[in-house]
Amino acid sequence: MTEKQFTITDEAGMHARPASALVGTVSKFKSDIQLEYKGKKVNLKSILGVMSLGISSGSVVTISADGEDEDEAMAKIEEAMKAEGISN
Amino acid sequence: MTAELYGIAASDGIAIAKTYRLESPSLEFDKKSIDDPALEIERFHTAIAVSSKELELIKEQAETQIGPKEAAIFGAHLMVLSDPELIGPITEKIENDLVNAEFALHEVSDMFMNIFASMDNDYMKERAADIKDVRNRVLAHLLEVRFPNPGLISEKVILLADDLTPSDTVQFNPEFIQGFVTEIGGRTSHSAILARTLEIPAVVGVKKLMASLADETLLIIDGIEGKIIADPTEEQIELYKKRKIDFEDRKTALAALKDAPSVSADGFKVELAANIGSPKDVKSALENGAEAIGLFRTEFLYMGRDSFPTEEQQFEIYSEVLKAMGDKPTVVRTLDIGGDKELSYLDLPKELNPFLGLRAIRLCLEMPDLFRTQLRALLRSSVHGNLNIMFPMIATLDEFRQAKQLFLEEQEKLAAENIPFSKDIEVGIMVEIPSTAVMADLFAKEVDFFSIGTNDLIQYTMAADRMNENVSHLYQPFNPAILRMVKMVIDAAHKEGKWAGMCGEMAGEELAVPILLGLGLDEFSMSASSILKTRSMISSLSKAEMEKHIDSILALATAEDVKNYVSQLVDK
């Protein structure tokens, strides 16, 4: 299993556009991918799950990937986070 | 069977096409126990698949028609449809609780909607509506009822709806929408405004519309008369096809007059101006070929708020209008409040006769600070365009002199503070009280211009409230008494080398324009939509010819006589 922390820098927090981009990215992978925020874990392949956390700007989230393609998935997540400008 | 329904004419034009009912279907269902969960789950997956296909199409359509940014919302909807945290719990519920798909879908989506609706953040709260939208689409497919897809309309239709919301209207392709008919709404409702922007006919406020007309009914919509005809006869179709061509010809001919000068057949030039109530009306004034703003009512600045607008707020608004008008003159009427127009934050005593009470300039002279703030804001804005100012409800020369004095004092103060203002502002008055019309010769020596406010001038002259249906027959614009008074005012202005305008509804009336032209009126100010029609009419009239008839018209005894006389003149 691989795990990484991200700080959300987008002023609007985790709103629909970056959340869709992130979910769209991870849906292609076989690994089980989870996002943890304030002690709550959700499936990162679920747009409703991610959005329902109401992640605000400045928060720290932990993303973990567990499965055969976990490293590749984590690399793509980092890429998407930067491309969407929600984390640096 | 042919049926005619009537509503409010909200946007000009005529169209003939099949109806498309834009309505939310009833999505009611019962909770049921099921025996075969595998079959129910399959039914659920089929509904999801059909919904996804529709959304893909709508998204594509929206991308090409409105742009990727607006289409993104449908991408998010698609993602909800494939969300494992939504689909998973629903299928589990069907399997474990042996309930129908409708019920399981409703329960699980409700849970998510509640989470979003209870968030502090407004943006997140609104996401509940997205989930509901997606949920309703799937539910409709499960229940096998039609879910309207305005984005997928691909043939010419007339939309029928209870009301149209902005979210309905961003979706469809205007190319296919021939007109709107709605059950609720007035001339200023969203659908009416949109129809005028798209230049398609609209009839709104048609009672029992949705109960009366089925989908795919052949319909004629007449946005000029505010009428629709369902299942028209062959004759009616032919008649309306012809009317449609006439309407379009007329529109093209009028549009060609937008930048044309307003000149009579014998070369006499007048000014055609627009009446506006806020800066957002300027665009339509210019689009309709206004050569000036003849009346900018400033009341809206004071209404719908809980304190007086500041000098700065007023300065911004006046400057916006003046900049948009450029070199073209703008006549601003100072505050006309009091009487029947009340402000929540201004506590005025109740009056027995509000129209004869403390209002307009009377109130401004009673509360000079309020008036000075407006004058100062106007003066400061004057550097941004071609500003003229007029005072409403002037009854005596003393009132004009006092108001003008306050104006001059504010000018001096600004000069002392080195704040720039235009030196060319003309200061005039509204002529709407008979005493002022009668004394116009003396006023003309002191004012820069007159603007005749016929709506009030008529009701004060006839002593008849036009809103009171028992006496509204006495509200007679064509009564020779009114016309004689208008003549006195115009003649008095011209004798002193000043100009005279009119900013009441009369200035754009078909039968009044020939008389006013003959009387030598210099400026006609009306609602923007009447300008091109009036310009066309003036170009066909000879001023010299109309002048010859003035004495005969003013010698007539009744309003009816005047109208008959002018009708015959115009028909010739």
CA distance A81 to chain B (A): 18
Determine the Cα–Cα distance for residues B263 and B381; give it in Å rounded to an integer.
Answer: 31
Residues of B in contact with A17 (CB under 8 A): 72
- Give the contacts of B317 (CB within 8 A, at least 6 positions apart): B278, B279, B301
The answer to whether the CB of B109 falls within 8 A of the CB of B87 is: no
- To the query of whether residue B364 is one of the catalytic residues in this protein, the response is no
For residue B13, give the 3-state DSSP assignment: coil
DSSP B24: P
Q: Smallest Cβ distance to B121: which of A42, A49, A54?
A: A54
Residues near B254 by Cβ (< 8 Å), separated by ≥ 6? B532, B533, B536
String of DSSP letters for B524-547: EEE-GGGHHHHHHHHHTS-HHHHH
Residue B75, chain A, CB below 8 Å: the answer is yes
> Which one is predicted more confidently, B196 or B447?
B447
Q: What is the dihedral of CA B99, B105, B108, B113, to 10 degrees?
A: -150
Nearest CB partner across the interface for B80, out of A15, A27, A48: A48
Helix (H, G, I), strand (E, B) or coil at B555: coil
Q: Where are the beta strands (DSSP E) in B353-433?
A: 386-391, 426-431
DSSP B406: H
Q: Is the pLDDT of residue A62 over 90?
A: yes
Closest alpha carbon within chain B to A46: B83
The pLDDT value given to residue B346: 85
Q: Is A15 among the catalytic positions?
A: yes
Contact residues, chain A, for B80 at CB < 8 Å: 47-48
CA B270 to chain CA centroid, Å, is 26
Cβ distance of B84 and A45 shorter than 8 Å: yes
**Is-contact B389 B407, C-beta < 8 A?**
yes
DSSP character string of B83-116: -HHHHHHHHHHHHHH-B-HHHHHHHHHHHHHHHH
Chains A, B: CB contacts under 8 A, how many?
47
Flag if B86 and A15 touch (Cβ within 8 Å). Answer: no
Residues 6+ apart with CB under 8 A from B135: B105, B106, B109, B113
Chain B residues inside the 8 Å CB shell of A48? 80, 83, 85-86, 112, 131
Q: Which of A13, A46, A54 sits opposite B83 (nearest CB)?
A: A46
In this complex, the residue of B80, B83, B123 whose CB is nearest that of residue A15 is B123
β-partners of residue B450 are B429, B500
Nearest chain B CA: its distance from A14 CA (Å): 10
- Whole-number average pLDDT of chain B: 91
Tens-digit pLDDT profile for residues B260-278: 999 999 999 999 999 998 8
CATH of domain A2-83: 3.30.1340.10
The reported pLDDT for the residue numbered B91 is 96
Residues of B with CB below 8 A from A13's CB? 121
Phi and psi at residue B272, to the nearest 5°:
-105, 120
Which chain B residues have a beta carbon less than 8 Å from that of A49?
83, 85
**B63 vs B389, residue with greater confidence:** B389
Per-residue HEC secondary structure of B259-312 comes to CCCCECCCCCECEEEEEECCHHHHHHHHHCCCCEEEEEECHHHCCCCCCCCCHH
Smallest CA–CA distance, residue B88 to chain A, in Å, is 11
**8 Å CB contact of B127 and A16:** yes
pLDDT for B543:
96
pLDDT in tens, B277-319: 888 889 889 989 999 999 999 988 998 788 899 999 999 999 9
Residue B129's pLDDT band (boundaries 50, 70, 90)?
Answer: confident
Nearest to B75 among A20, A51, A54 (CB): A20
Per-residue pLDDT at B168: 66
Per annotation, catalytic residue among A15, A20, A21, A36? A15
Q: Which of A51, A52, A55, A57 to mutate to test the interface with B (most CBs of B within 10 A)?
A: A51
Mutation site, B78, B81, B127, B131, interface A, largest A CB count within 10 A:
B127
Q: Which range in A42-56, B109-123, B396-410, B524-538 is most confidently predicted, on average pLDDT?
A: B396-410
Angstroms from B332 CA to nearest CA on chain A:
43
Judged by a CB distance cut-off of 8 A, whether residue B74 touches chain A is no
pLDDT tens string B142-165? 999 988 887 778 899 999 998 876
**Between B72, B75, B85, which is nearest A48 by CB?**
B85
- Short-list B316, B249, B258, B250, CA closest to B285: B258
d(CA B183, CA B160): 8
Q: For B47-76, write each residue's pLDDT tens digit.
A: 999 999 998 988 887 787 667 776 777 888
Alpha-carbon distance of A58 to B191, in angstroms, equals 42
Distance from CA of B105 to the nearest CA of A (A): 14
